[in-house]
Amino acid sequence: MFAAVPASGQASLQNVRAASPTKGIPFFPMYVARDMGIFRGDGLAVEEIVMGLDVAIAGILAGELGYVTGTGSATRAAITGVPVKVVMFTFDKIIFTLHVLPTIKSIADLKGKRVAVNRPVTTDAVFARAALERAGVDPSTVTFGSMVATSTRFAALKSSAVEAAVLTPPFDALAVKEGYRSLAQASDVLDMPWSGLATSAKRLAEKPMEVKAVIRALLKALQFIRQNRAGSIALIRKEFDLDESLAGHVYNQMVPALSSDGTASARAIENDIDLARRSLKIAKSVEVSQVVDFSLLNEARRTFSLKP
């Protein structure tokens, strides 16, 4: 579907570095763009790095990194005045689920218990707190344990080191299979985007063609995922070492959450900003334009037709 190398040859590839907080489904479009030759076809040699996003944000400000895929962390940085911008969303819905030990019958039972999340300020923790609040449980009565990798959170649940854990596919399916019930789904609690691409305001100003090329490649990856179920499932199996059934489950959960065009609704973005303000105890209002800049996304979208 996409050219494997730029027409001008491999020598013209632009080296860029992009950071994600962990290896996981929220960043699957990056893996597609890499393995399907889409990055190379758009003249990019992308180095993927796994690191904490607080460090990664500092890296893009220093010019040591080009991009971060954790848009929630970028949003939290931007509302505090850090010069970073979210330039696209690859997922406009969240597919976290809250799973609990068999002894926990309701969210109300989590009062005084332990919940495994990535970190207390990350989007999965925002979801967990929102689910608790909706059930009438004060989040301050719950202990949140920081475990970056979803596999680590699932292992903590299985060992009863925590009573609940926020999981993503395929761990949600594995959890149910092993008897850990799901008490909440993020899409029922939060209308927020999940992941995408963010960079520094300086890079936007100084390297717009590079930024647009990365955006364009990810738009093509979204198109590939939607139009190529078999190829996407094969890559899911490869990346996460899953059998056909679990990989199919991941695909089925993922596709409805993908952004159709790299954007998210204004309401979802505003919700993301408002929740970030609450978590950081920022009283003043924040304009969407302080966090998001879709100008290069709009230019990239005009270069080809992205079909939902």
Say if residue 307's pLDDT is above 70.
no
Please compute the mean of the pLDDT values over residues 294-298 and round it to a whole number.
Answer: 96
Over pLDDT 90: what percentage of the chain? 75
Architecture of the 10-93+192-301 domain: 3-Layer(aba) Sandwich (3.40)
pLDDT class of 258 with cuts at 50, 70, 90 = very high
pLDDT class of 5 with cuts at 50, 70, 90 = very low
Segment 99-128, tens digit of pLDDT: 999 999 999 999 999 999 988 878 889 899
Say if residue 11's pLDDT is above 80.
no
- Location of structure tokens 């344990």: 145
Please compute the mean of the pLDDT values over residues 64-91 and round it to a whole number.
Answer: 95
Q: What is the pLDDT of residue 233?
A: 97
**Average model confidence (pLDDT) across the chain:** 91
Q: What is the pLDDT of residue 306?
A: 56
Hey, what's the torsion of the CAs at 178, 242, 21, 219, to 10 degrees? -130
pLDDT class of 1 with cuts at 50, 70, 90 = very low
Please give the backbone phi and psi of residue 19, each rounded to the nearest 5 degrees, phi first: -110, 140
- Residues carrying CATH 3.40.190.10, the chain: 10-93+192-301, 97-189
d(CA 25, CA 41): 23
- H or E segment to which residue 110 belongs: none
Please compute the mean of the pLDDT values over residues 171-184 and round it to a whole number.
Answer: 92
Say if residue 215's pLDDT is above 50.
yes
* Domain 97-189, CATH number (from 3.20.20.70, 3.40.190.10, 3.10.20.30, 2.40.30.170): 3.40.190.10
pLDDT class of 8 with cuts at 50, 70, 90 = very low
* CB-based contacts of 22-26 (< 8 A; 24+ apart in sequence): 22/50, 22/118, 22/148, 22/149, 22/150, 23/50, 23/149, 23/239, 24/150, 24/168, 25/95, 25/168, 25/169, 25/250, 25/254, 26/69, 26/70, 26/90, 26/91, 26/168, 26/194, 26/195
Q: For the whole model, what pTM was predicted?
A: 0.86
pLDDT class of 148 with cuts at 50, 70, 90 = confident
